[in-house]
Copies of this chain bind each other. A is one copy, B any other.
Amino acid sequence: MKWHFDDFIYGSIDGAVTTFAIVAGVVGAGLSPGIILILGFANLFADGFSMAAANFQASKARNEFIQMKRKQEEWEIDNLEDQEKEEIRDIYRKKGFKDELLEEIVRIITSRRKVWVDTMMKEELGLIEDEKKPVDSSVSTFVGFNVIGVIPLIPFIMFFSFDLNLGSDAFLYSTISVAIAFFVVGMIKAKIVKKSKIRSGIYTLIIGGIAATVAYMVGYGLNFLV
């Protein structure tokens, strides 16, 4: 498979945010830390799966939509030749061509089926084909979601597995490690979209922080329910 780093990064941000929101919600409500592991892992597998599936379906739908439009344009070229020639004429008229030169351009573009269809796709419909395989996008998303999303759970896993004396420090370690993860992932994301790394790191940190604070407050506010 071909690895898609951008999907990995989008998955990883969502994984870290949602898992840490569960951590913060449980701690805010003063519930047993075991619930963090139960619902944290349920989120990693269930939400990671659904996000990957949504990504798969969206990429597949986009590819199919583009193919459908291409077929439709091909049909129109075969069956409504004059009308489609007129559309090419319009497109190039708007670019500033006219008279004999315009007719010559229309003649040449419409003499090659692929160039003709490509021109209609790009200029009339604004569609550009991309060659991403849906399954590659979704696997990259799922792996990112789980690999980075598990980070806020690690202190709690250690707390349970090795009976380490982390005590309530587990939440502190979880917060620190996920804050670092937010910042680093935000910086890597900036590299993909070619933006300021520090600013993107801080931005991702703030989004994750707000989400966790909201979850903590909901947990704290509703703890009378248990």
Interface set of A (CB-CB < 8 Å, partner B): 10, 13-14, 17-18, 21-22, 24-26, 28-29, 31-32, 34-35, 37-39, 41-43, 45-47, 49-51, 53-54, 57-58, 61-62, 64-65, 68, 95-97, 101, 104-105, 108-109, 111-112, 115, 119, 122-123, 126-128, 130, 160, 193-195, 203, 207-208, 210-212, 214-215, 218-219, 222-223, 225-226
Contacts and interface: CB of A to CB of B under 8 A. Distances in A.
A51 B214 CA distance: 14
A126 to B, nearest CB: 5
A45 B17 CA distance: 12
Contacts of A68: 194
Given A46-B212, A96-B111, A226 B35 contact: yes
Given A108-B96, A210-B49, A37 B160 contact: no
5 closest A-B pairs by CB: A34-B225, A25-B42, A21-B46, A34-B226, A46-B215
A31 B35 contact: yes
A20 B22 CA distance: 14
A226 B95 contact: no
A25 B46 contact: yes
A129 B96 CA distance: 21
A144 B31 CA distance: 29
Given A32-B226, A96-B108, A43 B57 contact: no
B96 A112 contact: yes
Nearest to A35: B226
Contact of A218 (B38, B62, B112): B38
A211 B29 contact: no
A194 B14 contact: no
